[in-house]
Amino acid sequence: MSKFALIVAAMLSVGSISARAEEKMVVDMRKLTCAQLTRLGFQDFAGVTMWLSGYYNSSIRNTVVDLEQFARAATKVKDYCQTNARATVLSAAERALGIKMPR
């Protein structure tokens, strides 16, 4: 590999690392609103809803993940959020799914 190609490869890898660092997102789940949830991209939405599932299921000591059931639940929460933008995501999950989230 030529010196020029090595420098270009190094620059590209540094650029992609800094781009990923800028995309870092930290969320206080107690404060996350439905409006914020509905603006998330697919990966972030999936991450947030997977966290919600784990948070709830750990409180009832459930260690089983049914991915079809999870997808239906995530859709229900998102649908609820689309018409209740001011609600928090935790309260949306409670109302949409008929559950009580741990506090």
Report domain extents, the chain.
27-97
Model confidence band, residue 25 (pLDDT cutoffs 50, 70, 90): confident
CA 63 → CA 13, 47, 48, 66, distances in Å? 38, 18, 18, 10
Which helix (H) or strand (E) covers residue 86, if one does?
none
Residues 6+ apart with CB under 8 A from 1: 9
40 DSSP 8-state letter: S
Nearest to 97 by CA among 87, 80, 84: 80
The string of pLDDT tens digits covering residues 35-50 is 999 999 999 999 999 9
Residue 92 backbone phi and psi in degrees, to 5? -60, -40
**pTM score over 0.75:** no
pLDDT-above-70 percentage for the chain: 78
